Amino acid sequence: MAFFQIDNLSKSFGGLKAVDQLDFQVQEKEIFSIIGPNGAGKSTIFNCINGLYKPEQGKILFKGNNLIGRRPDQIASAGIARTFQNLELFAHMTTLDNIMLGRHLSMKASIAAVLGLSFKRSKAAKEELQHRRKVEEIIDFLELESARDQFVSNLPYGKQKLVELGRALALEPDLLLLDEPAAGLTQEEREDMVFWIKDIRDLLGITVILIEHNMQMVQNISDRILAINFGKPITTGTPEEVLGHPEVIRAYLGEDITQV
Amino acid sequence: MRNLKTDYFEDLQLFKDGLQLFWSAVLLLLLFALPFFVKTYYLTIINLMAVNVVVALGLNLLVGNTGQISLGHAGFVAIGAYTTVLLLKAGVPFIFALTASGLVTGLFGVLLGIPSLKLEGPYLAIATLAFGLAVTTVIGRMDFLGGRMGMNVPKISLGWTGLKYDQSLYYVIIIITILAVIATRNLLKSRIGRAFQAIRDSDIAASAIGINLTKYKLYSFGISAFFAGIAGSLWALYLGFINPTLFSFILSINFLVIIVLGGLGSITGSVMGAIVLTYLNLQLEDVVEIPILGDALLRFSELFMTATGVSNVSWFLTGFILILVVLFEPLGLYGLWLRTKIYWKRWPF
Percent of chain B clearing pLDDT 90 (strictly above): 65
Instruction: Please report whether residue A165 resides in a domain.
Output: no
Q: Do B192 and A114 touch (CB under 8 A)?
A: yes
Q: The CATH number of the domain where A60 resides is what?
A: 3.40.50.300
Q: Which of B247, B267, B292 is the last residue of a domain?
A: B247
The amino acid sitting at B152 is: N
Of the pLDDT bands very low, low, confident and very high (cuts 50, 70, 90), residue A260 is very low
Kindly report the number of other CB atoms within 10 A of residue B152's CB atom. Answer: 11
A84 vs B219: CB contact, 8 Å cut-off? Answer: no
| Long-range contacts at A198-205 (CB < 8 A, ≥ 24 apart) | A198/A31, A199/A141, A200/A169, A200/A176, A201/A29, A201/A30, A201/A31, A204/A169, A205/A29
Q: Among B190, B209, B212, whose Cβ lies nearest the Cβ of A124?
A: B190
Q: Distance from B245 to chain A by nearest Cα, in Å?
A: 34
Residue B196 placed within a domain: yes
The verdict on residue B9 lying in a domain is no
Domain end marker among B222, B247, B272? B247
Give yes or no for residue B257 having a pLDDT over 50: yes
Q: Which of B258, B132, B264 is nearest to B196 (CA)?
A: B264
- Chain B residues closer than 8 Å to A138 by CB: none
CB A101 within 8 A of CB A196: no
Taking residue B217's Cβ as centre, other Cβ atoms within 10 Å add up to 24
Looking at the DSSP bridge assignments, the partners of residue A232 are A229
Could you tell me if residue A162 is inside a domain? no
Amino acid at A95: T
Are B193 and B122 within one domain? yes
Give the C-alpha separation, B106 to B224, whole Å. Answer: 7
For the segment A34-59, what is each residue's pLDDT rounded down to a tens digit?
999 888 889 999 999 999 999 999 99
Q: Taking the mean position of all CA atoms in its chain, how far away is CA B316?
A: 21
Residue A131, domain extent: 92-157
| Interface contact B209-A76, CB threshold 8 A | yes
| Residue of A72, A120, A167 with shortest CB distance to B9 | A120
Distance from C-alpha of A236 to C-alpha of A119, rounded to nearest angstrom: 55
Closest Cα to residue B52, out of B270, B202, B247, B244? Answer: B270
pLDDT in tens, B154-172: 988 887 878 888 889 999 9
CB-CB under 8 Å, B189 with A117: yes
Residue among A94, A107, A83 at smallest CA distance from A144: A94
Domain that holds residue B316: 248-349
Mean pLDDT of A130-143: 95
Quote the ipTM score: 0.92
Cα B348 from Cα B208, distance rounded (Å): 46
Q: Kindly list the strands in the beta sheet with A80-82, ordered across the sheet, starting from the edge strand earlier in the chain.
A: A80-82, A175-179, A207-211, A31-35, A224-229, A232-237
Within this chain, do residues A254 and A198 fall inside the same structural domain, yes or no? yes
Beta-carbon-side half-sphere exposure of residue A230 (alpha carbons within 13 Å): 5
**Least CB-CB distance to B211: which of A73, A124, A136?**
A73
Residue of A nearest to B16 (CA): A118
Domain count for chain A, please give it. 2
**DSSP 3-state of A17:** strand
Domains identified in chain B, total number:
2
In a domain, B8, yes or no: no
Residues B93, B226 within the same domain: yes
DSSP B181-237: HHHHHHHHHSHHHHHHHHHHH-HHHHHHTT--HHHHHHHHHHHHHHHHHHHHHHHHH
Residues of chain B positioned with their CB less than 8 A from the CB of A47 = none
Average pLDDT of chain B? 90
Q: Using CA atoms, how far apart are residues A227 and A36, in angstroms rounded to an integer?
A: 6
Measured in angstroms, the CA of B300 and the nearest CA of chain A are apart by 42
The pLDDT tens digits of the residues spanning B90-127 come to 999 999 999 999 999 999 999 999 987 888 888 999 99
Determine which helix (DSSP H) or strand (DSSP E) holds A200, and give its type and residue range: helix A187-202
Question: Given CB atoms, is A128 within the 8 Å cutoff of chain B?
Answer: yes
pLDDT on residue B1: 47
Question: B210 vs A120: CB contact, 8 Å cut-off?
Answer: no
Query: Is there a single domain that holds both residue B240 and residue B256?
Result: no
Residues B260, B299, single domain; the answer is yes
Confirm or reject contact between A93 and chain B (CB < 8 A).
yes
Instruction: Give domain status of residue A181, yes or no.
Output: yes
Q: Are residues B51 and B165 in the same domain?
A: yes
Integer CA distances (angstroms), A158 to A21, A33, A220, in order: 35, 21, 20
Convert the pLDDT of each residue in A95-121 to its tens digit: 999 999 999 999 999 999 999 998 988
Are B226 and B237 members of one domain? yes
Position with higher pLDDT, B347 vs B30: B30
Of A97, A101, A114, the CB nearest to B209: A101
Convert the pLDDT of each residue in B271-321 to its tens digit.
999 999 999 888 877 777 778 877 787 777 777 766 666 666 777 777 888
From B200, which residue of chain A is nearest by alpha-carbon distance? A90
Element (H, E) at A72: helix A72-77
Q: How open is the CA angle A185-A188-A190, to the nearest 5 degrees?
A: 45
- The residue-averaged pLDDT of B134-156 equals 91
The verdict on a CB contact (< 8 Å) between A104 and B197 is no
With contacts defined as CB-CB under 8 Å, which chain A residues touch B211? 73, 101, 104
Which residue in A81, A107, A115 is closest to B191 by CB distance?
A107
Assigned domain for A244 exists: yes
Q: Per-residue pLDDT for B208 more than 80?
A: yes
Structural contact between residues B205 and A88, judged by C-beta atoms closer than 8 angstroms: yes
Tell me which amino acid residue B213 is.
L
Q: Are residues B152 and B299 in the same domain?
A: no
Q: Please name the residue ranges forming H helices in chain B.
A: 18-33, 40-60, 73-89, 94-116, 121-141, 165-189, 191-201, 203-208, 213-239, 249-262, 267-284, 291-304, 313-328, 332-346
